[in-house]
Structure 1
Amino acid sequence: MKRLINLTPSKGGRWLLGLLPFLLLAMIYLALSNARLAENPNDRLLPAPATMAQTFYNLATEENVRTGQIILWADTVASLERLLIGVAISALIGLSVGIVNGGLPLVRAKLSPLVTVVSLIPPMAILPILFIAFGTGEMAKIALIAIGVTPFLIRDLQGHALRLPDEQLIKAQTLGASSWQVLTRVLLPQLTPRLLNATRLALGTAWLFLIAAEAIASQEGLGYRIFLVRRYLSMDVILPYVAWITLLAFLLDQLLAWISRLAFPWYHAGEGDTS
Structure 2
Amino acid sequence: MRLINRHPDRPSRLLLVILPFALLLFIYFTGSAARLTENPNDKLLPSAAQMIDAVERLAFTEDKRSGQYLFWQDTASSLTRLGIGLGIAALAGLCLGLAAGTVPLFGAPLSPLLTVLSMIPPLAVLPILFIVFGLGELSKVMLIVIGITPCIARDIEQRARELPRELLIKAQTLGASTWTLILRVVLPQLLPRLLISLRLMLGSAWLFLIAAEAIASTDGLGYRIFLVRRYMAMDVILPYVAWITLLAWLMDLGLRQLTRLAFPWYEGAKA
Partner of 1:203: 202
Give the drift of 1:12. 2.2
CA distance in 1, matches of 2:257, 2:57: 33
**CA–CA distance in 2 between the matches of 1:11 and 1:146?**
40
Cα distance, 1:94 vs structure 2: 0.6
**Residue 11 of structure 1: how far off its partner (Å):** 1.9
Aligned residues: 271
Measured after TM superposition, the shift of residue 145 of structure 1 is: 0.1
Question: What amino acid does structure 1 have at the position aligned with 2:265?
Answer: W
Q: How far is the alpha carbon of 1:269 from its aligned partner?
A: 2.4
Aligned pairs for 1:124-163 within 5 A: 124-163=123-162
Cα distance in 1 for partners of 2:26, 2:163 equals 48
Distance in 1, Cα, partners of 2:269 & 2:263: 13
Match of 1:103 in 2: 102
Closer, same or farther: CA 172–270 of 1 in aligned 2, 3 Å: closer
- Alpha-carbon separation, structure 1, partners of 2:75 and 2:144: 17
Alignment of 1:116-127 (within 5 A): 116-127=115-126
Are the counterparts in 2 of residues 82 and 142 from structure 1 also a CA contact under 8 Å? yes
Cα distance in 1 between the residues matched to 2:9 and 2:87: 37
Find the aligned partners of 1:70 and 1:11 in 2 and give their Cα distance. Answer: 41
What displacement does 1:270 show?
Answer: 7.6
Question: Does the residue aligned with 2:204 lie in a helix, a strand or coil?
Answer: helix
Cα deviation digits, residues 153-183 of structure 1 (max 9, x gap): 0000000110111111111111111111111
SS in 1 for 2:63: coil
Where does structure 1 lack aligned partners over 5 or more consecutive residues? none
Question: Using the alignment, how far apart are the partners of 1:65 and 1:226 within structure 2?
Answer: 19
**8 Å CA contact retained: 1:100, 1:183:** no
Aligned to 1:15: 14
SS at match of 2:163: coil
TM-score by structure 1 length?
0.97
Separation (CA, whole Å) in 1 of partners of 2:260 and 2:79: 23
Q: Report the RMSD for the aligned CA atoms in angstroms.
A: 1.1
Q: 1:26 maps to what in 2?
A: 25
Instruction: Find the counterpart in structure 2 of residue 188 from structure 1.
Output: 187
Query: Where in structure 1 do 4 or more consecutive aligned residues deviate above 3 Å?
Result: none
SS of equivalent residue, structure 1 residue 269: helix
Q: TM-score, normalised by structure 2?
A: 0.98
The aligned counterpart of 1:235 is: 234
Map 1:11-90 to 2 at 5 A.
11-90=10-89
Which residue is equivalent to 2:265?
Answer: 266
Amino acid at match of 2:241: V
CA deviations over 1:177-227 (Å, ceiling 9, x no partner): 111111111110010000000100000000000000000000000000000
User: 1:87-135: per-residue Cα shift (whole Å, max 9, x none)?
Assistant: 0000000111111111001100011111111111111111111101111
